[in-house]
Amino acid sequence: MTSKDHNNRKNIQSKMVGWRHSVGMRYALFLLLIILFYVSLAPKLLPERYNIAVGTPSEKEILAPMQIPNTKATLKAQEEAAEAEKPVYTKISLRNEAIITEMLDQIARINQDDQVSREDKISIYRQDLPQIFQSHFQNFIMSSRNVGNYSSAFLDEVRTRIYEQVYHISEETFIKIPQLTADDIAEMKPIASDIVSRLMYEPVTDAQITRTKVAEQVSSSSLSKRISREIVQELARYVITANKFYDEDTTKEAKVKARENTGTVYIKQGDVLVSKGQIITQEMYTLLQDNGLLKNKVNYWPQVGVALLSFLLGIGLFMYIRQSESTVRFKYNNLQLSMLGLIFLITIISMHLIALLHNEQRPYMGYLAPVAIGGMLITLLLDMSLAYICSVIFAVMASVVLNIHQGQIFDFYFGLFALVTSFAAIFGIHRASQRSSILKAGIMVSIFGSLLVVTLIMINSSGWDQTKTLYAIGFAFTGGLLTTIMVIGLMPFFEVTFGILSALKLVELSNPNHPLLRKLLTETPGTYHHSVMVGNLSEAAAEAIGANGLLCRVGSYYHDIGKTKRPGYFIENQNGMENPHDFIDPKLSKSIIIAHARDGAEMQKEYKLPKPIRDIAEQHHGTTFLHYFYHKALKQAEEQGLEPDFTEDDFRYPGPNAQSKEAAIVGIADSVEAAVRSLRKPTVDQVETMIEKIIKSRLDDHQFKECDLTMRELDVVGQTLKETVMGIFHSRIEYPEDIKKHKKKEEKEREKDDSSPGLEQ
């Protein structure tokens, strides 16, 4: 490969990596997902528009696609409410008792004047008593108008009603008044005032009715003289007026409030607006036009509503992924997000295909829809928690797409069916270890789907006969099997297209009968055993920090497959034979050792192993330094008296460094296993110190700079490796009580082991 070709390949790889982690691309993918939701929901949620004209018959029955305000019925209801509102009457205090008191005071003054003749007194009473009455009410109306307590219209109503109902004092009373003495008047005043006050306390609209009660009140009073009773009775009748009057302004306000408080009358969703064949009137045409049901006028609010619903579904999924620990958030973001979008597309298309067969004549066809396919694929390929969230979205989509009822936005039955079957699929598949697990999960979907259908029919059996029930149960069961077939068929496509290693694929690759593993076992049994040990260590460490433990274990099985090309040059395969590195040039030894990583990746590529497995084989040593062979080469040059023609960089692995947590963990576990194996009688302290030394050495050598391992995670990895090593090599590791006994012997062995090239292999 030329330098130019190499640079071009590097640029392409850089662009691919940039695409996977581009924030702009991530938002674009979510926007496409929202558009997918809109396109899927719009045909079901947006109202159909009609091409009709006034005076022509309707070619089809037109139902209200949503709740529509009925303007004509609303106006009629408002007018009826206003008409039903009773006239408002306001009671006011006119202090009529003050009028009769003033009249009696005037009578007392005039009667005491001996200079005035009896005829003149009678004439004065005819004039003064009505004047006192009129002056009192005129003053009340004037003061009320000035203060603004009542409206002018109301005060005019008061004046009109008072003078309409005025009482006329008899002529006989005017003749009798001059006969009253001062004592008579003094006795009459409190009684007359009390009678008027008592009768005017209650609301009075018709003064004549109240005046009929005066005679009874006077008769039961303590007045002793007949003339006094007669005059009090007449004067009381005269001053009694109405005190409760019709309030036109308040009545109008009450009617306005009644109109305002009358709710809008709606045409219910699903009600018939126009029957088939009915002649279109102007009123019908206007109603359809106002609600955007005519092709010549579009109502954009439904489109906005569907867009908002799609946005809410999309943004809810976005916020979950953003805040979760799922692989979509932290690994190969946009690539896996693209796969998530494709899963949504496939699931929604399958719903729409079944919806084409689903109608009111065949209401059971919807149960055939493989709505659980999305939850099952997301669980297998991405993340179980994400699958539960997406299942809720699938349920919402199914309740709309499979809805056949006019006047309904969502069909609860199919929404619940999608939710239950999706949850059953996730539960049945989340620990799948082989392809047959998909079939088991599909059967679980069939069983739970059928049970739910039976439950819903039992709860609401109206419109369902025995035939429809059997069809519904049969289609629900078949839907689960259809889900299984589709998932089994789609899994290889997703694994190859997106380079996804599902748990099922990893389990298949861990089968010892795989050609490469059989080759490893038969040709390099020592390396095979080493790989199995590394797999156990790396899996435990990866799971402790939330990485993919299964990937680490399977990747460990294949990480040293390159050693099968020259098995005798690696210490675990020498089985007591002489080490060939003792007899060859250290530079050649270095070339043989570092070649196994590259050779392993190439062998895996020939056998079409997934890229994450190949990456572990190629990256598990990173660019680590081969100390033993470097110092051996230095020593030889010194003995020969030559200047070294090499540098430390010549004795490093070519890399690349670990690009993922899994590759880094396998590299650490590889070194730990080799180091512990090289110790003849390891102690707990030795193991702990060695693990810390290996991790620190790789950290100082910048081996983790290209992966996202944190210092805290490295601490957890170290602690987990120590605990796992204790369990695996329990019989070989000596604990503190045995350390003193073998201390000197172990120090000698450690010195010998530290000079061995085995750790670098």
Domain boundaries, the chain: 48-70+267-298, 89-246, 301-501, 510-760
Whether the per-residue pLDDT at 296 is higher than 70: the answer is: no
Question: What pLDDT shows up at residue 297?
Answer: 61
pLDDT band at 29 (very low <50, low <70, confident <90, very high): confident
Output DSSP code: residue 21: T
Which of the following CATH numbers is that of domain 510-760: 1.10.3470, 1.10.540, 1.10.260, 1.10.3210?
Answer: 1.10.3210
For residues 368 and 462, which has the higher predicted lDDT (pLDDT)?
A: 368
DSSP code for 569: G
Contacts of 419 (CB under 8 A, 6+ apart): 391, 392, 394, 395
SS3 assignment for 119-176 = HHHHHHHHHHHHHHHHHHHHHHHHHHHHHCCCCHHHHHHHHHHHHHCCCCCCHHHHHH
Q: Which of 17-21, 163-167, 754-758 is the most confident on average?
A: 163-167
pTM score of the predicted model: 0.57
CA distance 329 to 160: 84
Counting other chains too, the contacts that 292-295 makes at CB distance below 8 Å and 24 or more residues apart are 292/47, 292/49, 293/47, 293/48, 293/49, 293/50, 293/62, 293/65, 294/49, 294/50, 294/51, 294/52, 295/49, 295/50, 295/51
Lowest mean pLDDT among 43-47, 87-91, 115-119, 199-203: 43-47
739 confidence band (pLDDT: 50, 70, 90): very low
Contacts of 583 (CB under 8 A, 6+ apart): none
Contact between residue 133 and residue 165 where contact means Cβ atoms under 8 Å apart: no
Q: Which residues contact 52 (CB under 8 A, 6 or more apart)?
A: 58, 59, 274, 280, 285, 288, 294
Residue 523 makes CB contacts below 8 A (sequence gap 6+) with: 564, 567
Residue burial 597-619, b: 16+ Cβ < 10 Å; e: rest: bebbbebbeeeebbebbbbbbbb
Residue 420's pLDDT is 92
Span between the terminal Cα atoms of the chain, in Å: 29
Lowest-confidence pick of 29-38, 457-466, 499-508: 457-466
- Which distant-in-sequence residues (6+ apart) come within 8 Å of 357 by Cβ? 365, 368
pLDDT in tens, 218-227: 888 888 888 9
Helix 436-459 / helix 466-497 crossing angle, nearest 10 deg: 150
What pLDDT is attached to residue 92? 86
Given a contact cutoff of 8 angstroms between Cβ atoms, the answer to whether 407 and 64 are in contact is yes
Tell me 702's DSSP state.
T
- CA 327 to CA 501: how far, in whole Å? 12
pLDDT at position 328, please? 54
Which residues are registered as beta bridge partners of 244?
91
Per-range mean pLDDT, top range of 96-110, 572-586, 741-755: 96-110
Residue carrying structure tokens 């001062």: 182
The predicted pLDDT at position 288 comes to: 75
CB 36 within 8 A of CB 345: yes
Question: Where are the alpha helices (H) located in 460-585, listed in sequence order?
Answer: 466-497, 503-509, 515-523, 525-544, 549-558
Write the CB contacts of 183 (distance below 8 Å, at least 6 apart in sequence).
none
**Residue that has been written with the tokens 């619940």 in this structure:** 416
Question: What pairs with residue 699 in β-bridges?
Answer: none
Q: How many CB atoms lie within 10 A of CB 470?
A: 11
pLDDT: which is higher, 289 or 557: 557
Residues 376-399: pLDDT tens digits?
999 888 888 889 999 999 999 999
Residue with tokens 């009609």: 50
Enter the tokens of residue 672. 């730990």
- Distance (Å, whole) CA 123 – CA 37: 98
Lowest-confidence pick of 140-154, 246-260, 288-302, 329-343? 288-302
3-class DSSP assignment, residue 501: coil
Number of other residues whose CB lies within 10 A of the CB of residue 15: 11
Angle 653-658-662 from CA coordinates, rounded to 5°: 130
In angstroms, rounded to a whole number, what is the distance separating the alpha carbons of residues 193 and 263?
51
**Rounded-to-integer distance, Cα 218 and Cα 577, Å:** 144
pLDDT band at 205 (very low <50, low <70, confident <90, very high): confident
Residues with Cβ < 8 Å from 27, sequence gap 6 or more? none
Q: Report the mean per-residue pLDDT for the chain.
A: 83
The answer, yes or no, to whether residue 251 has pLDDT greater than 90, is no
Q: Which residue, chain included where needed, has tokens 């210490």?
A: 571
Task: Please tell me the least confidently modeled range out of 213-217, 395-399, 409-413.
Answer: 409-413
What is the Cα–Cα distance from 624 to 95, expressed in whole angstroms? Answer: 111
Three-class DSSP category at 734? strand
pLDDT at 13 exceeding the cut of 60: no
Among candidate residues 398, 410, 391, the one with its CA nearest the CA of residue 351: 398
The whole-number pLDDT of residue 676 equals 86
Contact 237, 167 (CB under 8 A): yes
Amino acid sitting at position 588: L
Six-digit token string for 500: 């996804």
Contact 271, 64 (CB under 8 A): yes
Peptide bond between residue 130 and the one before it cis (omega within 30 degrees of 0)? no
Phi and psi (nearest 5°) for 385?
Answer: -60, -40
Q: For residues 738 and 641, which has the higher predicted lDDT (pLDDT)?
A: 641
Q: What is the pLDDT of residues 337-362, one digit of tens each?
A: 888 999 999 999 999 998 888 777 77
Please write down the HEC assignment for all residues of 645-673: CCCHHHHECCCCCCCCHHHHHHHHHHHHH
Give the DSSP H/E element, type plus range, for residue 266: strand 266-267
Q: Distance (Å, rounded) from C-alpha 299 to C-alpha 45? A: 13
Beta strand pairing status for 244-246 and 89-91? antiparallel
Q: How far is the C-alpha of 419 from the C-alpha of 412, rounded, in Å?
A: 10
Q: No. of H helices and E strands in the chain? A: 33, 8
pLDDT at 7: 47
| Strand ranges inside 34-147, DSSP E | 62-63, 68-69, 89-91
Strands 68-69 and 62-63: unpaired
On whether the 301-501 domain is CATH 1.10.1760, my answer is yes
Backbone angles phi, psi at 319, to 5 degrees: -65, -35
C-alpha span between 566 and 528 (Å, rounded): 14
Average pLDDT value for residue range 436-449: 86
Is the Cβ–Cβ distance between 377 and 490 less than 8 Å? yes
